[in-house]
Structure 1
């Protein structure tokens, strides 16, 4: 998979999950009515879904990154990395992004926390 496709998946997928979770919340909980009754705010369900989608998408992305960085070879660490990969890239093996300038050598930690050779 190319780096560009992997980057787009890792950007879009968590926000899609966040938006879907927001839609479920908006449908299952009367958030617009609660905001109107509590604070007097006039908002529509699509506005709430959009705002919650961004907030939840960012939360999902951060949770996925945190899980993806779990080091070690134990079962829980491997499970955490797998769940992180599900949250960040639909379970596809895109690898963690490495940001480096052209020609710059970097050292990358492997999925088990070991150091990979410089690239």
Structure 2
């Protein structure tokens, strides 16, 4: 889990840099970045579903909806390539989603096996 969280935390400055310098990266690197950012949100969605009985419903629903929208949008960007209007805003939301992901996994209640 620590390796996963370190990887996710490394994506935060990468997305902030991509937001600051739009279209100064290649189409391939952009597709890889959006694809990786989509993949790191899948464990979050799985955990939200798996631990739904122990989580507070309203915050977890808001986080799940945000993550689902990010997965759908970034899957589309990964498939279609560059040329997305307001792509810088998507990179800001990706950085925010990775911050939320790290905070969730660091503060979420753990299942107890007794």
Q: TM-score, normalised by structure 2?
A: 0.34
Structure number with larger C-alpha Rg: 1
